[in-house]
Amino acid sequence: MLTPMASADGSGAASSADGDGAASQPAGTLASATQAPSRSVQRVLMALTLPALLIGVMTGVLLWAIDELAEVLDHALWERLPEWIGVAPDAAWWIIGVLTATGAAVGLVLRYAPGHGGHDPAKVELIAPPLPLSALPGVALALILGLAGGVSLGPESPIIAIAIAISVWFTRRFAKHVTVEMALMMAAAGMLGAMFGSPVAAALLLTEVVAGAKRGGLLWDRLFAPVAAAAAAALTADLLGVALDATEGQGFEQVTLVQLLWGAVAALAAAALGIAGAWAMPRLWRLLRTLRSPVLYATLGGLVLGILGAIGGPITLFKGAAQTSQLVQTADEMSTWHLVLLAVIKTVALVIAAAAGFRGGRIFPAVFIGAAAGLVVQSLVPDLPVLIAVACGVLGAVLAIGRDGWLALFIAVAVSGEIELLPALCLIMLPVWLIVTASPEMLVHDPEDEVDPHDVKAG
């Protein structure tokens, strides 16, 4: 999911503030300080602290604002408007109509808004090159339409892109000692901390990026400012009530060997769904692009999403966070085949949403897919505790779709609420990763693109 940047510690060259493109390295950057006495490092870290905290607070508020706007539109589309018309919001024709209209609206944004909705999340990693400020209204509008309209994507990629653009602009104007790369890291860490409610998630995800930069100095020195931003963002998001709520642990006996084996089956089953989606998405993306106009392929995507939603019901709509909790709570009322249907529909919906140009991330839908796959195995093996089945399923799906072991472990533990499961999850992850690492990514590699989807410095 994340790949190393040449200057992930914030010490790389940054464009000058006047936009002439000349590379410059502000005095006192972390790269030079790591070769100097520890007091010099301390001064550099202190100089980064205030911008990091401000960016962290900004990302938490940004997440809250986007969430609030999407919720207002959500209530209008799925509660007030159906009530005013006198129809059931879960009626098949209403679901199909709303999602088709959502696709058309997103397509119009992609066609006519400045910046055309920003990066296509199907073609870039979670952390992508900074966008110009002029593109942000279109990115935000496309994201809000998708979140409210029931599209099977989370907010991750677009909202991180918005946070990065604002942070780069802010530091270029008011904190010129902060390089573009460090501003990007702070913004990404802040939004990850805000979404997942913990700076630990950001630290784990960014460790790979920072370590891969192969710079001098301690790893913690290079993570200091991003973690500060993530901590401020997590606290802000928690105060505003938009951070991901971790499940409270219910307590369980020590994981047995049999449970470990069945947990591995759940993880592999979920990963298989993710791998199938990763294989299909780029092919569908290219097929839809033969329609040329984003209005056409986004509208068609919305129509198909609506049909899938009518078949699977409202539980298969939206990003999947609240729906995952609902699924776990009502799984004992569903048959095995019903659970299989939900897992397959959500996987197909994710593939279509990503391929049809909708702006959003794939991690939250992956959690639903993993939970459904885990519950399928649990329905066949009642002695397997639900928490273990769900955690293992989430581990496999996020690993296959997100391609990041740290993220998969963190979310699996958060979903289960049991840190005691971590050793077992680490063991289960090993065979799954051996399969995933040899499988296709859920990412489009377009030969016509000048931007490498793995290079966050491009553009």
Q: Among 180, 209, 240, which residue terminates a domain?
A: 240
Residue 197 sits in the same domain as residue 98: yes
Distances (CA, A) of 379 to 128, 280, 328, 393, 396: 40, 28, 12, 13, 18
Residue 369 in any domain: the answer is yes
Residue 281 in any domain: the answer is yes
Residue 310 in any domain: the answer is yes
Residue 68 in any domain: the answer is yes
For the chain, the domain total comes to 2
What's the mean pLDDT in 399-422? 86
242 pLDDT band (50/70/90 cuts)? Answer: confident
Residue 160 in any domain: the answer is yes
Instruction: Tell me the CATH number at 133.
Output: 1.10.3080.10
User: Within 175-198, where are the H helices?
Assistant: 180-196
Residue 187 sits in the same domain as residue 56: yes
Range of the domain at 296: 257-436
What's the mean pLDDT in 355-376? 93
Predicted local confidence at residue 261, as pLDDT: 92
Q: Among 215, 240, 265, which residue terminates a domain?
A: 240
Residue 141 sits in the same domain as residue 166: yes
pLDDT above 50 (res 125): yes
pLDDT above 60 (res 17): no
The encoded tokens of residue 179 equal 């390089």
Residue 188 in any domain: the answer is yes
Predicted local confidence at residue 78, as pLDDT: 92
Residue 230 sits in the same domain as residue 92: yes
Q: Amino acid identity, residue 351?
A: V
Predicted local confidence at residue 24, as pLDDT: 40
Asked if residues 409 and 361 have their Cβ atoms less than 8 Å apart, the reply is: no
Predicted local confidence at residue 421, as pLDDT: 85
Residue 386 in any domain: the answer is yes
Q: Amino acid identity, residue 146?
A: G
Residue 89 sits in the same domain as residue 174: yes
Residue 287 sits in the same domain as residue 208: no
Residue 165 sits in the same domain as residue 291: no
d(CA 297, CA 276): 22
Predicted local confidence at residue 38, as pLDDT: 63
The encoded tokens of residue 284 equal 């569908």
Predicted local confidence at residue 378, as pLDDT: 92
Predicted local confidence at residue 321, as pLDDT: 82
Distances (CA, A) of 19 to 9, 22, 168, 236: 22, 8, 12, 32
Residue 277 sits in the same domain as residue 231: no
What's the mean pLDDT in 81-90? 90
Predicted local confidence at residue 407, as pLDDT: 87
Residue 93 sits in the same domain as residue 227: yes
Q: Among 212, 240, 268, which residue terminates a domain?
A: 240
Residue 24 in any domain: the answer is no
Residue 266 sits in the same domain as residue 228: no
Residue 211 sits in the same domain as residue 290: no
Residue 191 sits in the same domain as residue 297: no
What's the mean pLDDT in 360-380? 93
